[in-house]
Amino acid sequence: MTPDEGQAALDKLRADIDELDLRLLELFNARAQVVEEIGDIKRVAGIPIYEPKREELVFSNVLGHNGGPLGDDAVRRLYERIIDEMRTLQRERMRRAQSQAAEGLAQAQGQPQAPAQAKASGQTQASAQARASGQTEASGARESEGEKR
């Protein structure tokens, strides 16, 4: 094989890998969508995100079907990482849902947003503080400037 033939073969194989990477990405995102649904059910039902028995079932499933060339240890490490990222996705989604629920409850009760809720919703701290004190953001900013002088 000449260097040019070798390079052509490498280019073809790398294009195959690029295509496989895109298919993997599509599958990871499809898995993430299912995980989000699972997380929603867990949040509503009060079920913990971390379920070690379920993770062992996932490992058992994939390792039982592993035909190589990846060894079982490598497959386990890959799935540990995948599961960890999916668990993080569930936690973040639960936090957002809880924050939105708390914000909606506060608004329904006519209560001002806490600074952390204001930040999450994109409000500035000045506008959250002004709202809490019944001022407009501009009047609150003017008073703050007056206090600095």
Same domain as 97, residue 131: no
Q: Tell me which of 149 and 111 has the higher pLDDT.
A: 111
Which residues, in sequence order, are CB contacts of 93 under 8 Å at separation 6+?
36, 39, 40, 43
Rounded CA-CA distance 120/81 in Å is: 28
Each residue's pLDDT tens digit, 15-65: 999 999 999 999 999 999 999 999 999 989 999 999 999 999 999 999 999
Domain range for residue 133?
A: 113-149
Same domain as 7, residue 74: yes
Global pTM reads 0.67
Each residue's pLDDT tens digit, 57-111: 999 999 999 999 999 999 999 999 999 999 999 999 988 988 888 888 888 887 7
Q: Give the model's confidence band at 145: pLDDT under 50 very low, under 70 low, under 90 confident, else very high.
A: very low
Same domain as 99, residue 133: no
Rounded CA-CA distance 17/25 in Å is: 12
| pLDDT the model gives residue 52 | 94
Same domain as 79, residue 44: yes
Same domain as 103, residue 40: yes
Same domain as 101, residue 38: yes
